[in-house]
Structure 1
Amino acid sequence: MALTPPLKKKLLTAAVLAGVLLLAWWLWRTLSDDGPGEGFVSGNGRIEATEIDVATKLPGRIEEVLVSEGEFVKAGQPLARMQIDTLQAQREEAEAGRQQALHAAAAAEAQVALRRSDVAAAQALIVQRDAELDAAQRRLARSETLAKEGAASGQELDDDRARVRGAEAALAATRAQATAAEAAVKAAEAQVVGARSSVEAAAATVARIEADLADSVLKAPRRGRVQVRVAQPGEVLGAGGRVLNLLDLSDVYMTFFVPETAAGRIALGTEVRIVLDTAPDYAIPARVSFVASQAQFTPKTVETASERQKLMFRVRAQIPPELLQQYIEQVKTGVPGVAWVKLDPDAAWPASLATVVAQD
């Protein structure tokens, strides 16, 4: 059956159109960026950094804020000062209490010396009383011998016996005084211990207030950039009130999610390339520093309609601190991008990810 010219023309047009569509599909497949392909997996995320809140230790009023938003600060650099009038008054009071405790300790030590001299005097008196008793006993012995021979009267014998009893009583009293003096020494020594403890307590109070005075100057715990000034001079904050928020730009990373089928092949230290939306021609080298041990449903920020039922694992890619140091002025957080993870150690990075940010 012969084809009419109009039908031939239609078939020829359809064939040309099909050829054009086939060529367009082939070009799209060839030139479109499907990623590195086998041996790699990717996830989208944003650049993040460790945030540090600089807060007050004690309640008080802000005297001065020394830095501005966006400013780079060094570790230990003063960032803000709190009013310290009350703390200074407390320190003066505590110092006066410490001096008072020192005087009390000195007085207690003097009392110990005094009580020890009383003990020495009592012991010397004991020796004296003991000698007097010995003399009285010897005299009584002679009187008893003479009385038996009729050479001494009974009155003399009675007097000598009374002297012995008096000497014994005096010796007992002196020994009691010595015991009391020794007890007084122990009591005085206990007072010294208490006084010295009071001195230590007062010194600790002074040290605590001095520590609070030192903490009234808010310092940067590490190097970073001021992100937000939360409070202004003149504001009264409670304990733990935030004054500034810092970003530690030596600890920058991207958190992203990968399918459960790929998570088991990712180990700590695995190579990563991060491509930011703002710089698509450059790949930032990184390493996997964290892989979640439990899966979770895909977060809405990264899911598509076909992925909502899939379980994903959270992964963190850490950018080397030495690289961050080179580009510290350009580091920005919140920038979106894509992280490519090399699952196969033997796979070669494709040309699209080969242009890596220079690292000395």
Structure 2
Amino acid sequence: LLVLAFFGWRHFHNGEFRYAGTVEATEVTLSPRISSTLSSVAVREGEEVEKGQVLIELGCEDLRLDAGIAQREFARAESLYKAGATPLEAFDRARNRRDDTALKVSWCRIESPIDGTVLARLHEPGEWAAPGVKLLTLADLGGVYAFVYVPQSELYRLKPGAEVLAFLPEAGDAPRKGRIASIRAQAEFTPKNVQTREERTR
């Protein structure tokens, strides 16, 4: 994943300057396993989420109704089986149907698989969602590496180990602390997909 970012490095004597770069982070896209309307989307872009947190709920009215019927049928089949009034095969079918419908109902709640930040909220409550449709994009922004392109005339102000602040527009523009890991000895051209601060604000 490449996320466009601005990086500002605060120098206690010479002030602050910013340059654009790219960030490498683990990205996760959430999609439903079943088709249904979106009942709720609990987060917005830039919010931090925890692993296991419920982010999306689907309506699943038909599935919930079917699961309720399957549960009652299983209870009846279990009672008849214990009384010797129904064969094992019928009891197993009722149990499998109950388990299958319960599993599908559990898919109506979509949880975050990681601790991370919401990069994109792609659909709103009331819209129809189907398997493969992207609903949310998350990224683990802890321990990421950034590649920042700085003019040669500014390199004298930088050194490995110096503290920097990263500003990620996709993550609410909140500052994040980091350190310069290394400075390449050989100069490179700035890639075309990296814009300067002035170009981004036009």
Same topology, TM > 0.5: yes
| Cα deviation digits, residues 214-234 of structure 1 (max 9, x gap) | 221111100010000011111
1:75 to 36, 51, 66: 51
Q: TM-score, normalised by structure 1?
A: 0.36
**Aligned residue number for residue 236 of structure 1:** 128
1:203 paired to 2:95: yes
Residues 339 and 245 (structure 1 numbering): CA distance in 2 closer, same or farther, change over 3 Å?
A: farther
Partners in 2 of 1:284 and 1:209 — Cα distance? 55
**Aligned residue number for residue 190 of structure 2:** none
Q: Note the C-alpha offset of 1:200.
A: 2.6
1:97 to 70, 73, 81: 73
Q: Note the C-alpha offset of 1:58.
A: 0.4
**Aligned residue number for residue 34 of structure 1:** none
Partners in 1 of 2:89 and 2:161 — Cα distance? 62
Confirm or deny: 8 A CA contact 2:22 2:148 kept in the other structure.
no
Residues 47 and 104 (structure 1 numbering): CA distance in 2 closer, same or farther, change over 3 Å?
A: same
Q: Note the C-alpha offset of 1:276.
A: 5.3
Partners in 1 of 2:40 and 2:22 — Cα distance? 34
Confirm or deny: 8 A CA contact 1:249 1:331 kept in the other structure.
no
Residues 86 and 329 (structure 1 numbering): CA distance in 2 closer, same or farther, change over 3 Å?
A: farther
Q: Note the C-alpha offset of 1:48.
A: 1.7
Higher helix share: 1
- Report how many aligned residue pairs link the two structures: 147
SS at structure 2 position matched to 1:95: helix
Identity of aligned residues (%): 24
Partners in 1 of 2:97 and 2:26 — Cα distance? 36
SS at structure 2 position matched to 1:242: coil
**Aligned residue number for residue 63 of structure 2:** 87
Structure 2 unmatched runs, 5+: 1-20, 163-173, 186-202
Partners in 2 of 1:251 and 1:204 — Cα distance? 44
Corresponding letter in the other structure for 2:59: Q
Q: Note the C-alpha offset of 1:251.
A: 5.5
Partners in 2 of 1:222 and 1:210 — Cα distance? 24
**Aligned residue number for residue 340 of structure 1:** 184
Partners in 1 of 2:93 and 2:80 — Cα distance? 13
Confirm or deny: 8 A CA contact 2:160 2:183 kept in the other structure.
no
**Aligned residue number for residue 111 of structure 2:** 219
Aligned residues: CA RMSD: 3.1
Confirm or deny: 8 A CA contact 1:275 1:339 kept in the other structure.
no
Structure 1 unmatched runs, 5+: 1-44, 111-191, 255-273, 286-327, 333-337, 342-360
SS at structure 2 position matched to 1:330: strand
**Aligned residue number for residue 354 of structure 1:** none
Over 6 Å off, 4+ runs: none
Query: Where in structure 2 are the equivalents of 1:94-173 lying within 5 Å?
Result: 94-107=70-83, 109=84
Higher strand share: 2
1:57 paired to 2:33: yes
| Cα deviation digits, residues 157-192 of structure 1 (max 9, x gap) | xxxxxxxxxxxxxxxxxxxxxxxxxxxxxxxxxxx6
Confirm or deny: 8 A CA contact 2:30 2:135 kept in the other structure.
yes
Q: TM-score, normalised by structure 2?
A: 0.61
Partners in 1 of 2:26 and 2:64 — Cα distance? 35
Q: Note the C-alpha offset of 1:282.
A: 5.2
Residues 329 and 94 (structure 1 numbering): CA distance in 2 closer, same or farther, change over 3 Å?
A: farther
Q: Note the C-alpha offset of 1:50.
A: 1.2
Residues 284 and 73 (structure 1 numbering): CA distance in 2 closer, same or farther, change over 3 Å?
A: farther
Q: RCO (CA 8 Å, sep 6+): is it higher in 1 or 2?
A: 2
Confirm or deny: 8 A CA contact 1:275 1:284 kept in the other structure.
no
Residues 251 and 90 (structure 1 numbering): CA distance in 2 closer, same or farther, change over 3 Å?
A: farther
Corresponding letter in the other structure for 1:217: R
Confirm or deny: 8 A CA contact 2:41 2:55 kept in the other structure.
yes
**Aligned residue number for residue 7 of structure 2:** none
Confirm or deny: 8 A CA contact 2:46 2:119 kept in the other structure.
yes
